[in-house]
Protein backbone atom coordinates (compact mmCIF):
# COMPACT_ATOMS: atom_id res chain seq x y z
CA UNK A 1 0.00 0.00 0.00
CA UNK A 2 2.75 2.42 0.84
CA UNK A 3 4.38 1.80 -2.52
CA UNK A 4 1.09 2.54 -4.34
CA UNK A 5 0.65 5.83 -2.42
CA UNK A 6 4.17 6.89 -3.23
CA UNK A 7 3.63 6.08 -6.92
CA UNK A 8 0.50 8.27 -7.13
CA UNK A 9 2.03 11.32 -5.41
CA UNK A 10 4.05 12.63 -8.41
CA UNK A 11 1.01 12.35 -10.64
CA UNK A 12 -1.11 14.43 -8.21
CA UNK A 13 1.59 17.04 -7.88
CA UNK A 14 1.85 17.34 -11.66
CA UNK A 15 -1.91 17.78 -11.94
CA UNK A 16 -1.84 20.49 -9.26
CA UNK A 17 1.03 22.21 -11.04
CA UNK A 18 -0.84 22.25 -14.32
CA UNK A 19 -3.90 23.76 -12.65
CA UNK A 20 -1.82 26.51 -11.11
CA UNK A 21 -0.57 27.83 -14.49
CA UNK A 22 -1.85 31.33 -15.36
CA UNK A 23 -4.38 31.66 -18.13
CA UNK A 24 -2.73 33.83 -20.89
CA UNK A 25 -6.12 35.15 -22.06
CA UNK A 26 -6.86 36.50 -18.61
CA UNK A 27 -3.40 38.04 -18.41
CA UNK A 28 -3.75 39.84 -21.75
CA UNK A 29 -7.29 40.96 -20.92
CA UNK A 30 -6.19 42.34 -17.58
CA UNK A 31 -3.26 44.18 -19.20
CA UNK A 32 -5.54 45.69 -21.88
CA UNK A 33 -8.06 46.86 -19.27
CA UNK A 34 -5.31 48.44 -17.18
CA UNK A 35 -3.89 50.15 -20.27
CA UNK A 36 -7.33 51.46 -21.26
CA UNK A 37 -7.89 52.79 -17.75
CA UNK A 38 -4.51 54.54 -17.78
CA UNK A 39 -5.16 56.04 -21.21
CA UNK A 40 -8.62 57.19 -20.14
CA UNK A 41 -7.27 58.92 -17.04
CA UNK A 42 -4.44 60.42 -19.08
CA UNK A 43 -6.93 61.70 -21.66
CA UNK A 44 -9.13 63.32 -19.01
CA UNK A 45 -6.20 65.12 -17.39
CA UNK A 46 -4.31 65.98 -20.58
CA UNK A 47 -7.48 67.36 -22.15
CA UNK A 48 -7.45 70.07 -19.44
CA UNK A 49 -3.71 70.60 -18.88
CA UNK A 50 -2.57 70.38 -22.51
CA UNK A 51 -5.67 70.86 -24.67
CA UNK A 52 -5.20 69.93 -28.33
CA UNK A 53 -7.21 70.50 -31.49
CA UNK A 54 -6.76 69.79 -35.17
CA UNK A 55 -9.55 72.24 -36.07
CA UNK A 56 -7.41 75.32 -36.53
CA UNK A 57 -6.79 77.61 -39.49
CA UNK A 58 -4.55 80.55 -40.33
CA UNK A 59 -6.44 83.84 -40.49
CA UNK A 60 -5.38 87.22 -41.90
CA UNK A 61 -6.76 90.67 -42.59
CA UNK A 62 -8.39 90.79 -46.03
CA UNK A 63 -9.38 93.98 -47.83
CA UNK A 64 -11.42 94.20 -51.05
CA UNK A 65 -9.60 96.42 -53.57
CA UNK A 66 -12.50 98.59 -54.64
CA UNK A 67 -12.40 101.70 -56.85
CA UNK A 68 -14.36 104.72 -55.71
CA UNK A 69 -15.16 105.85 -59.26
CA UNK A 70 -16.22 103.97 -62.37
CA UNK A 71 -14.20 103.68 -65.56
CA UNK A 72 -12.13 101.47 -67.85
CA UNK A 73 -8.82 100.19 -66.50
CA UNK A 74 -5.88 101.82 -68.27
CA UNK A 75 -3.11 100.34 -66.09
CA UNK A 76 -2.87 97.05 -64.25
CA UNK A 77 0.41 96.92 -62.33
CA UNK A 78 -0.07 93.59 -60.53
CA UNK A 79 -0.70 89.95 -61.22
CA UNK A 80 -2.30 87.17 -59.24
CA UNK A 81 -0.30 86.50 -56.04
CA UNK A 82 1.78 89.67 -56.51
CA UNK A 83 3.51 90.85 -53.33
CA UNK A 84 3.16 94.63 -53.05
CA UNK A 85 4.28 97.34 -50.62
CA UNK A 86 2.06 99.86 -48.88
CA UNK A 87 0.73 102.62 -51.17
CA UNK A 88 1.90 100.82 -54.30
CA UNK A 89 -0.17 101.77 -57.34
CA UNK A 90 -2.18 98.68 -58.27
CA UNK A 91 -4.81 99.89 -60.75
CA UNK A 92 -5.31 103.12 -62.67
CA UNK A 93 -8.59 103.96 -64.34
CA UNK A 94 -8.74 105.87 -67.59
CA UNK A 95 -8.34 109.45 -66.44
CA UNK A 96 -9.30 111.19 -69.67
CA UNK A 97 -13.03 111.45 -68.86
CA UNK A 98 -12.14 112.69 -65.39
CA UNK A 99 -9.79 115.34 -66.76
CA UNK A 100 -12.54 116.43 -69.13
CA UNK A 101 -14.91 116.62 -66.16
CA UNK A 102 -12.43 118.88 -64.39
CA UNK A 103 -12.14 121.07 -67.49
CA UNK A 104 -15.91 121.26 -67.70
CA UNK A 105 -16.23 122.12 -64.01
CA UNK A 106 -13.57 124.79 -64.34
CA UNK A 107 -15.31 126.26 -67.37
CA UNK A 108 -18.65 126.30 -65.55
CA UNK A 109 -17.05 128.00 -62.60
CA UNK A 110 -15.48 130.57 -64.87
CA UNK A 111 -18.77 131.28 -66.55
CA UNK A 112 -20.50 131.61 -63.19
CA UNK A 113 -17.90 133.99 -61.78
CA UNK A 114 -17.63 136.23 -64.84
CA UNK A 115 -20.82 137.93 -63.78
CA UNK A 116 -19.59 138.85 -60.33
CA UNK A 117 -16.19 140.40 -61.01
CA UNK A 118 -12.58 139.92 -61.82
CA UNK A 119 -12.00 137.97 -58.59
CA UNK A 120 -13.28 134.76 -60.15
CA UNK A 121 -9.75 133.59 -61.01
CA UNK A 122 -8.77 133.73 -57.35
CA UNK A 123 -11.85 131.77 -56.36
CA UNK A 124 -11.08 129.07 -58.96
CA UNK A 125 -7.51 128.64 -57.78
CA UNK A 126 -8.60 128.51 -54.16
CA UNK A 127 -11.29 125.92 -54.97
CA UNK A 128 -8.76 123.79 -56.81
CA UNK A 129 -6.37 123.88 -53.88
CA UNK A 130 -9.21 122.99 -51.52
CA UNK A 131 -10.17 119.99 -53.66
CA UNK A 132 -6.61 118.70 -53.65
CA UNK A 133 -6.37 119.33 -49.90
CA UNK A 134 -9.58 117.36 -49.32
CA UNK A 135 -8.22 114.45 -51.36
CA UNK A 136 -4.98 114.49 -49.37
CA UNK A 137 -6.93 114.65 -46.11
CA UNK A 138 -9.11 111.74 -47.15
CA UNK A 139 -6.08 109.63 -47.94
CA UNK A 140 -4.30 110.66 -44.73
CA UNK A 141 -7.44 109.85 -42.69
CA UNK A 142 -7.75 106.39 -44.26
CA UNK A 143 -4.08 105.70 -43.61
CA UNK A 144 -4.52 106.86 -40.00
CA UNK A 145 -7.55 104.59 -39.53
CA UNK A 146 -5.68 101.59 -40.91
CA UNK A 147 -2.66 102.30 -38.72
CA UNK A 148 -4.85 102.74 -35.64
CA UNK A 149 -6.62 99.42 -36.36
CA UNK A 150 -3.31 97.57 -36.71
CA UNK A 151 -2.01 99.21 -33.53
CA UNK A 152 -5.14 98.18 -31.62
CA UNK A 153 -5.19 94.59 -32.86
CA UNK A 154 -1.43 94.02 -32.78
CA UNK A 155 0.39 96.66 -30.67
CA UNK A 156 3.83 95.34 -31.56
CA UNK A 157 3.36 95.55 -35.33
CA UNK A 158 4.14 99.28 -35.56
CA UNK A 159 6.95 101.34 -34.15
CA UNK A 160 6.31 104.61 -32.35
CA UNK A 161 8.04 106.44 -35.20
CA UNK A 162 5.53 104.99 -37.72
CA UNK A 163 2.64 106.04 -35.49
CA UNK A 164 4.09 109.56 -35.08
CA UNK A 165 4.49 109.93 -38.86
CA UNK A 166 0.88 108.88 -39.42
CA UNK A 167 -0.44 111.36 -36.84
CA UNK A 168 1.75 114.14 -38.25
CA UNK A 169 0.58 113.44 -41.81
CA UNK A 170 -3.08 113.62 -40.71
CA UNK A 171 -2.50 116.84 -38.79
CA UNK A 172 -0.71 118.41 -41.75
CA UNK A 173 -3.48 117.37 -44.13
CA UNK A 174 -6.08 118.88 -41.77
CA UNK A 175 -4.11 122.11 -41.61
CA UNK A 176 -3.87 122.23 -45.40
CA UNK A 177 -7.65 121.83 -45.66
CA UNK A 178 -8.17 124.58 -43.09
CA UNK A 179 -5.74 126.83 -44.93
CA UNK A 180 -7.36 126.09 -48.29
CA UNK A 181 -10.82 126.78 -46.85
CA UNK A 182 -9.56 130.06 -45.45
CA UNK A 183 -8.08 131.03 -48.84
CA UNK A 184 -11.34 130.16 -50.58
CA UNK A 185 -13.36 132.13 -48.08
CA UNK A 186 -11.05 135.10 -48.51
CA UNK A 187 -11.43 134.92 -52.29
CA UNK A 188 -15.21 134.82 -51.98
CA UNK A 189 -15.20 137.84 -49.70
CA UNK A 190 -13.05 139.75 -52.15
CA UNK A 191 -15.67 139.20 -54.82
CA UNK A 192 -18.13 141.19 -52.76
CA UNK A 193 -21.50 140.38 -51.31
CA UNK A 194 -22.98 139.47 -54.64
CA UNK A 195 -20.33 136.88 -55.45
CA UNK A 196 -20.02 134.49 -52.49
CA UNK A 197 -23.74 134.11 -52.02
CA UNK A 198 -24.39 133.36 -55.65
CA UNK A 199 -25.89 129.84 -55.91
CA UNK A 200 -24.35 129.25 -59.33
CA UNK A 201 -20.86 129.94 -58.01
CA UNK A 202 -21.35 127.60 -55.04
CA UNK A 203 -22.64 124.83 -57.28
CA UNK A 204 -19.76 125.29 -59.72
CA UNK A 205 -17.20 125.13 -56.90
CA UNK A 206 -18.74 121.95 -55.51
CA UNK A 207 -18.71 120.36 -58.98
CA UNK A 208 -15.04 121.26 -59.43
CA UNK A 209 -14.08 119.79 -56.06
CA UNK A 210 -15.98 116.60 -56.85
CA UNK A 211 -14.26 116.30 -60.24
CA UNK A 212 -10.83 116.68 -58.61
CA UNK A 213 -11.69 114.11 -55.97
CA UNK A 214 -12.82 111.70 -58.67
CA UNK A 215 -9.47 112.14 -60.40
CA UNK A 216 -7.63 111.39 -57.14
CA UNK A 217 -9.82 108.30 -56.60
CA UNK A 218 -9.08 106.94 -60.10
CA UNK A 219 -5.91 105.31 -58.72
CA UNK A 220 -6.21 102.26 -56.43
CA UNK A 221 -3.34 101.90 -53.95
CA UNK A 222 -2.28 99.02 -51.70
CA UNK A 223 -3.48 99.72 -48.14
CA UNK A 224 -0.65 97.67 -46.57
CA UNK A 225 2.15 95.37 -47.61
CA UNK A 226 0.62 92.10 -48.68
CA UNK A 227 -0.50 89.81 -51.50
CA UNK A 228 -3.09 90.31 -54.24
CA UNK A 229 -5.61 87.45 -54.51
CA UNK A 230 -8.84 86.72 -56.40
CA UNK A 231 -7.61 88.74 -59.34
CA UNK A 232 -8.70 88.16 -62.96
CA UNK A 233 -9.00 91.57 -64.67
CA UNK A 234 -6.87 93.32 -67.24
CA UNK A 235 -6.60 96.60 -69.13
CA UNK A 236 -9.94 97.48 -70.71
CA UNK A 237 -12.07 95.97 -67.95
CA UNK A 238 -14.85 98.32 -66.87
CA UNK A 239 -14.54 98.86 -63.13
CA UNK A 240 -17.64 99.95 -61.30
CA UNK A 241 -17.47 102.08 -58.18
CA UNK A 242 -17.97 99.94 -55.09
CA UNK A 243 -17.33 96.63 -56.91
CA UNK A 244 -14.08 94.85 -55.86
CA UNK A 245 -11.42 94.28 -58.51
CA UNK A 246 -9.41 91.89 -56.36
CA UNK A 247 -8.86 90.79 -52.77
CA UNK A 248 -5.86 92.00 -50.80
CA UNK A 249 -4.35 89.85 -48.03
CA UNK A 250 -2.39 91.96 -45.59
CA UNK A 251 0.68 90.68 -43.78
CA UNK A 252 0.28 93.24 -41.02
CA UNK A 253 -1.47 90.77 -38.74
CA UNK A 254 -1.61 86.99 -39.09
CA UNK A 255 -3.03 84.69 -36.43
CA UNK A 256 -4.37 81.17 -35.94
CA UNK A 257 -7.96 80.52 -34.91
CA UNK A 258 -7.99 77.26 -32.95
CA UNK A 259 -11.50 75.95 -32.33
CA UNK A 260 -11.27 74.34 -28.88
CA UNK A 261 -13.98 72.37 -27.12
CA UNK A 262 -15.66 74.23 -24.28
CA UNK A 263 -14.36 71.75 -21.74
CA UNK A 264 -10.79 72.61 -22.85
CA UNK A 265 -11.07 76.28 -21.94
CA UNK A 266 -11.10 76.12 -18.14
CA UNK A 267 -7.32 76.47 -17.71
CA UNK A 268 -6.43 78.35 -20.91
CA UNK A 269 -5.48 81.97 -20.32
CA UNK A 270 -3.98 84.80 -22.30
CA UNK A 271 -0.22 84.39 -22.79
CA UNK A 272 -0.10 80.58 -22.46
CA UNK A 273 2.62 79.07 -24.70
CA UNK A 274 1.46 77.20 -27.77
CA UNK A 275 3.00 74.77 -30.23
CA UNK A 276 1.47 74.21 -33.64
CA UNK A 277 2.20 72.38 -36.85
CA UNK A 278 1.13 73.37 -40.35
CA UNK A 279 0.15 71.11 -43.21
CA UNK A 280 2.24 73.40 -45.42
CA UNK A 281 5.39 72.64 -43.38
CA UNK A 282 5.46 68.94 -42.44
CA UNK A 283 8.08 67.96 -39.89
CA UNK A 284 8.34 71.48 -38.44
CA UNK A 285 7.21 72.70 -35.01
CA UNK A 286 6.26 76.36 -34.57
CA UNK A 287 5.60 78.36 -31.43
CA UNK A 288 3.16 81.06 -30.42
CA UNK A 289 1.02 82.16 -27.51
CA UNK A 290 -2.64 82.60 -26.69
CA UNK A 291 -3.74 86.10 -27.68
CA UNK A 292 -7.40 85.92 -26.68
CA UNK A 293 -10.34 83.58 -26.07
CA UNK A 294 -13.65 83.87 -27.86
CA UNK A 295 -16.65 84.95 -25.82
CA UNK A 296 -19.34 83.43 -28.02
CA UNK A 297 -20.26 81.81 -31.32
CA UNK A 298 -23.25 81.98 -33.62
CA UNK A 299 -25.58 79.10 -32.86
CA UNK A 300 -27.88 79.86 -35.78
CA UNK A 301 -27.45 80.37 -39.50
CA UNK A 302 -26.75 84.11 -39.66
CA UNK A 303 -24.03 85.17 -42.11
CA UNK A 304 -24.41 88.94 -41.84
CA UNK A 305 -21.24 91.01 -41.41
CA UNK A 306 -20.55 91.69 -37.77
CA UNK A 307 -22.20 88.47 -36.59
CA UNK A 308 -20.51 86.09 -34.18
CA UNK A 309 -18.12 83.41 -35.51
CA UNK A 310 -19.83 80.29 -36.77
CA UNK A 311 -18.13 76.98 -35.96
CA UNK A 312 -19.47 73.74 -37.41
CA UNK A 313 -19.68 70.93 -34.84
CA UNK A 314 -19.22 67.32 -35.81
CA UNK A 315 -22.21 65.07 -35.21
CA UNK A 316 -21.97 61.43 -34.20
CA UNK A 317 -23.16 58.93 -31.67
CA UNK A 318 -22.33 61.35 -28.87
CA UNK A 319 -22.91 65.08 -29.15
CA UNK A 320 -19.66 66.92 -29.81
CA UNK A 321 -19.12 69.74 -27.31
CA UNK A 322 -19.50 73.25 -28.66
CA UNK A 323 -16.23 74.71 -29.86
CA UNK A 324 -15.02 78.22 -29.10
CA UNK A 325 -12.35 80.17 -30.99
CA UNK A 326 -8.99 80.62 -29.28
CA UNK A 327 -6.79 83.14 -31.08
CA UNK A 328 -3.11 82.23 -31.30
CA UNK A 329 -0.50 84.92 -31.91
CA UNK A 330 2.36 83.77 -34.13
CA UNK A 331 5.81 84.59 -32.78
CA UNK A 332 8.27 83.19 -35.31
CA UNK A 333 9.40 84.93 -38.49
CA UNK A 334 10.07 81.51 -40.01
CA UNK A 335 6.31 81.04 -40.30
CA UNK A 336 6.18 83.90 -42.83
CA UNK A 337 6.91 81.46 -45.66
CA UNK A 338 3.93 79.28 -44.72
CA UNK A 339 1.34 81.84 -43.59
CA UNK A 340 -1.35 81.16 -46.15
CA UNK A 341 -4.82 82.35 -45.25
CA UNK A 342 -7.08 79.38 -44.52
CA UNK A 343 -4.19 76.94 -44.09
CA UNK A 344 -4.86 74.12 -41.63
CA UNK A 345 -2.95 73.69 -38.37
CA UNK A 346 -2.78 71.41 -35.34
CA UNK A 347 -2.51 73.31 -32.04
CA UNK A 348 -1.64 72.35 -28.47
CA UNK A 349 -1.73 74.75 -25.51
CA UNK A 350 0.48 74.28 -22.44
CA UNK A 351 -1.53 75.68 -19.54
CA UNK A 352 1.11 75.31 -16.80
CA UNK A 353 4.42 73.79 -15.70
CA UNK A 354 3.18 70.20 -15.85
CA UNK A 355 6.41 68.37 -16.66
CA UNK A 356 4.94 64.95 -17.43
CA UNK A 357 1.93 66.07 -19.47
CA UNK A 358 3.88 68.83 -21.23
CA UNK A 359 6.53 66.27 -22.22
CA UNK A 360 3.87 63.87 -23.52
CA UNK A 361 2.21 66.74 -25.41
CA UNK A 362 5.50 67.76 -27.02
CA UNK A 363 6.17 64.17 -28.04
CA UNK A 364 2.66 63.90 -29.47
CA UNK A 365 3.13 67.08 -31.57
CA UNK A 366 6.47 65.88 -32.92
CA UNK A 367 5.01 62.54 -33.93
CA UNK A 368 2.12 64.32 -35.64
CA UNK A 369 4.52 66.67 -37.44
CA UNK A 370 6.32 63.69 -38.92
CA UNK A 371 3.06 61.95 -39.83
CA UNK A 372 1.93 65.10 -41.65
CA UNK A 373 4.25 64.05 -44.49
CA UNK A 374 1.79 61.30 -45.40
CA UNK A 375 -1.51 63.00 -44.64
Sorted by where each starts, the structural domains of the chain and their CATH numbers stand as 45-61+252-374 (2.40.30.170), 62-247 (no CATH)
Instruction: Please give the pLDDT value at position 230.
Output: 84
pLDDT at site 1: 47
Give the model confidence (pLDDT) of 162-197 as tens digits: 667 777 877 887 888 788 777 777 766 766 555 556
pLDDT of residue 172: 81
Q: What is the pLDDT of residue 197?
A: 62
Contact 271, 88 (CB under 8 A): no
Q: Does the reported pTM lie above 0.75?
A: no
Regions of the chain with pLDDT less than 70: 1-22, 37-44, 46, 115-121, 123, 153, 155-158, 162-163, 187-188, 190-197, 298-320, 332, 334, 375
pLDDT of residue 311: 63
What span, in angstroms and rounded, lies between the C-alpha atoms of 278 and 254?
14
State the DSSP string of 60-121. Answer: EEEEEE--SS-EEEEEE---TT-EE-TT-EEEEE--HHHHHHHHHHHHHHHHHHHTT-TTHH
Rounded (5°) CA angle 149-297-50: 90
Amino acid sequence: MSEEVSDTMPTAEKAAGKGAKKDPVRTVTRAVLILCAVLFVWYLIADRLTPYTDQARISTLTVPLTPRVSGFLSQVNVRLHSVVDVDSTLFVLDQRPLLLAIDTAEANLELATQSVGAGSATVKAAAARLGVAHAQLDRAQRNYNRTQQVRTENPGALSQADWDRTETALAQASERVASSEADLEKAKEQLGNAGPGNPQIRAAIAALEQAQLDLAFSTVHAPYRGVVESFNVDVGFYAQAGQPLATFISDRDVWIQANMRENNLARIKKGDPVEFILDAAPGKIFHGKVRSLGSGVDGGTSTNPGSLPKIQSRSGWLRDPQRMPVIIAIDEQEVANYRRAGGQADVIVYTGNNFLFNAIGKLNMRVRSVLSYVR
